[in-house]
Structure 1
């Protein structure tokens, strides 16, 4: 197990890129800027190590990063309707950066700050501890929030992200990571044929602005039923109303049934790769990169629709307006804790 680092100068800013490598040869690389995961190298069935996440060819593009490639997201991941919410009778107004709505914590959110970083290594685990203080009133949010995020890789090819936080007054908080996975390796193919299993009997219905309607329908008989596994293209090719609303794909929150230790399984048959997601979070946003176009230069080639799969484990920002959704409220001096593990292996 080892952690190495490289100093980068990007648009006059000094960044660090860390690479965590285990004894099996798996590597995870990340920046202290935005906690951005730039590469994850894992083997296929022929023991060929290839990158399985989307990242830019030119690191300057991470400064704008409108698609949030690989980044830590917060204070609140997802969309907040009307860019405002109420806590204990007081209204908090947030910047509208997605139409009239507030998306992914605003600017600069967790994805646009330089985190303090400390690497660590031991016999079966290595990683990076990232810390950041978000001041009271930043982007309209109440309370000073102290965040600590740990990226750790072990020798079982398990990559774990642990989020810890606290605030000096009542606030809202739910963080996630916005990596786009593509198990074909080095972007050899899109994700339409990826087979996905999700332990979820219900999902959150969206309106045309991708804001929850308040309805939480059952997945039965729809392309949102991933309980026994199905290919992503089932939803892409479907005329089911919610797939159409999601840009002919998915951009939806799924509520886990908590029946299994394995909440999500992704398989890509050509490479033989498999990704298992285990989390303590109540649900996950599945996003199938429907808004990507061909204008971006990625490490392995141009971007395009359906090139990556986001698995954003988190609570629901809709809960600030509707208490039927998993809550994002954090009480004063309460400890925020969330943990998600990505297990890479073979089918």
Structure 2
């Protein structure tokens, strides 16, 4: 018998389409998912003293999710991250995508998965909420009708599992990501520069104009990108020779075999004592320190002010611009195949 409870409530509407919220509680943790953008809106977890905190950035109302930049807590697709010049070639055909970050394409376009209302169904048998979305052939320029799904599940041992899936009736590309921002001290704490990050990545992909990868795969040794043995996020963040924007927004090439679930990330917050790990089957992870909040601060849950470095994203993924970079891991999905992307996120209190 499941020990989980799922509660459903309204969360506004978009163009006459109702948006719902689902709250899951299990294993001492509580999550809230809304159907707009398939967003993880809240995630409450304990610290070592039993105190609870909501450790994901988010907003109290639907208008704020639509107003503020950053895809906060959303599932991005079809292709999350960037595609250079908003086009790619597949099987000899050129596909022109929407140009929503000129001259490039990012996070699926003007109205990607992160800006759509998904259909949701509680799944008590699997202690989960499953959300589905169907998008037509030509949506934002992508070929093929795509059926996408994401399942959020809380496990008995205080882990959050996120499973993203997709099928398509024509050859296409897909890279769905969970685009949440974490702050283990609590979403309203203010900054994450003292969090200690460990990344199982010996290499990363440097970027050029528009944050498009250059195509190089570069060793992290002796650079600001070396998190292999654990380092404060803020240790090198103001080294503007390596990080011109005083922040990270880079893809790291994860060690181990893509397709195999393996530990990729560990983060520890000395203030609260909380730790978070990420296991994934994807080849890369985008580490982003929320730099866009510098120019556009947001008013988050409970009136919290979200500014630069207020949270960090760790988006497990296929590499950015992989459809135009043959030596990067493939993002191609063909009819009869199922795209599947797993993130398992254990939360550890001391």
Same fold (TM over 0.5): yes
Q: Which residue of 2 aligns with 1:318?
A: 321
Give the secondary structure class of the aligned counterpart of 1:320: helix
Question: Superposed, which structure 2 residues align to 1:105-184 within 5 Å?
Answer: 105-122=108-125, 126-184=127-185
Q: Which moved more, 1:312-321 or 1:128-137?
A: 312-321
Give the secondary structure class of the aligned counterpart of 1:107: coil
Contact 2:189 2:310 in 1 (8 A): no
Runs of 4+ in 1 over 6 A off after TM superposition: none
Q: Which residue of 1 aligns with 2:86?
A: 83
Residue 10 (structure 2) aligned to one of 2, 7, 15: 7
Structure 1 residue 160: Cα displacement: 0.6
Q: Distance in 1 between matches of 2:320 and 2:338?
A: 18
Q: Which residue of 1 aligns with 2:39?
A: 36
Contact 2:192 2:311 in 1 (8 A): yes
Contact 2:213 2:320 in 1 (8 A): no
Q: Distance in 2 between matches of 1:295 and 1:188?
A: 14
Q: Distance in 2 between matches of 1:88 and 1:152?
A: 37
Residue 304 (structure 1) aligned to one of 292, 302, 307: 307
Shift in CA distance, 13/61, structure 1 to aligned 2, threshold 3 Å: farther
Give the secondary structure class of the aligned counterpart of 1:234: coil
Residue 295 (structure 1) aligned to one of 294, 297, 306: 297
Give the secondary structure class of the aligned counterpart of 1:181: coil
Offset from partner CA, 1:72-119 (integer Å, 9 cap, x none): 100001000000111111111111111210000012111111111110
Structure 1 residue 248: Cα displacement: 1.1
Count of aligned residue pairs for this structure pair: 341
Q: Which residue of 1 aligns with 2:248?
A: 250
Q: Distance in 1 between matches of 2:202 and 2:237?
A: 20
Q: Does 1:19 align with 2:23?
A: yes
Give the secondary structure class of the aligned counterpart of 2:252: strand
Structure 1 residue 291: Cα displacement: 1.3
Aligned CA RMSD, in angstroms, stands at: 1.5
Give the secondary structure class of the aligned counterpart of 2:71: coil
Q: Distance in 1 between matches of 2:277 and 2:97?
A: 35
Residue 59 (structure 2) aligned to one of 56, 62, 65: 56
Show structure 1 runs of 5+ residues with no match: none
Contact 1:116 1:131 in 2 (8 A): yes
Q: Does 1:198 align with 2:202?
A: no
Contact 1:317 1:328 in 2 (8 A): no
Q: Which residue of 2 aligns with 1:274?
A: 275
Structure 1 residue 208: Cα displacement: 3.1
Q: Distance in 1 between matches of 2:101 and 2:21?
A: 30
**TM-score, length of structure 1 as denominator length:** 0.95
Show structure 2 runs of 5+ residues with no match: none
